Amino acid sequence: MIVDAQIHIWEADRPDRRWPAAGAEGRTAVPQRAIPLSAAEALGEMDAAGVERAIIVPPSWEGDRNDVALQAAADYPERFAVMGRIAPGPALLDKLPTWRQQPGMLGARLILSDGDPRVAEGPDHPFWHAAAAVRLPLMLAPSGKMPLLTAIARNHPALPIIVDHMGARVHRKGGEAFAQIEDVLALGNLANVAVKATCLPDYSALQHPWADVAPYVERLFQRFGAERLFWGSDLSRLPCPYPLLVETFRSGFSWLRGRDRDLVMGGGIRAWLDWR
């Protein structure tokens, strides 16, 4: 079973469902394309590429809301599950014990962005303690803050963490994108840390097979093992055909074969997130 570790779906900004203004709390990015990616379109792309399941990560340009993603998981429970956005605020800690009781919700995804008190106060913020207490799986986008992510992971060994996009810097290419790779590799000895190998081609300055960045995936594989390295596309910003990326992971890497390949391409993340 091939499972994509990250896709976004969303709806258009419209009067009855406004997005936050650019730069507003909860919004850290602009849309990756002008036309929203719907659940139906994502399913069509998945079917064409042989992808059976996908983790939906609600995008930040819609703000801290999970309604579209949870509806897709409700409509297609065998195909989608959600790593939701969980906003800071007075009721934050009260949400954590029952967060995964929402149908289709497997955990939460945070971008370590300036202005978030969970970032400003560092690894001792009550959120990290509370999330660790209930073992809530988190996907964390470092956004250049690998020392903070490292401190969170080391201070809270019961907290399951997935490092987004191999720790690469968004909108950068080649070695510049992977300037923090040694910091990511250093987390390999922590059993509570895994890595998403998502949207590899977008970090490359070259054409397929992306020789300037593909070796970083092998280094992560050697350090984290097949059980803690999760393939994915980030479909809406993928600069190549979806089937090409799938086939590259399925047969294009000489070091990824057999059971290891099956874990990287789906078995590992299903186990990590307990997606049955």
Q: Tell me which of 107 and 26 has the higher pLDDT.
A: 107
Residues 242-269 have a mean pLDDT of: 98
pLDDT tens string 69-86? 999 999 999 999 999 999
Q: What is the dihedral of CA 237, 243, 247, 248, to 10 degrees?
A: -30
Q: What is the pLDDT of residue 89?
A: 83
Q: Tell me which of 209 and 115 has the higher pLDDT.
A: 209
* pLDDT at 25 exceeding the cut of 80: no
Half-sphere CA count of 207, side-chain side, radius 13 A = 0
Task: Report the C-alpha gap between 2 and 49 in whole angstroms.
Answer: 10
Q: What is the pLDDT of residue 228?
A: 98
Residue with tokens 């939906």: 56
The pTM assigned to this predicted structure is 0.96
Phi, psi of 3 (to 5 degrees): -125, 120
Helix (H) or strand (E) holding 243: helix 242-247
Q: What is the pLDDT of residue 276?
A: 86
Report the alpha-carbon angle 26-29-30, nearest 5. Answer: 125
Q: What is the pLDDT of residue 74?
A: 98
Give me the chain's average pLDDT, please: 95
pLDDT tens string 193-214? 999 999 999 999 999 999 999 9
Residues 12-16 have a mean pLDDT of: 93
DSSP code string of 27-93 = -----SSSSPPPHHHHHHHHHHHT--EEEE---GGG-S--HHHHHHHHH-TTTEEEEE----STTHH
- Domains of the chain plus CATH, in order, are 3-12+22-273 (3.20.20.140)
Q: What is the pLDDT of residue 21?
A: 84
Task: Report the C-alpha gap between 236 and 243 in whole angstroms.
Answer: 14
pLDDT confidence tier of residue 30, bands split at 50, 70 and 90 = confident
Cβ proximity of 232 and 199 under 8 Å: yes
pLDDT tens string 130-173? 999 999 999 999 999 999 999 999 999 999 999 999 999 988 99
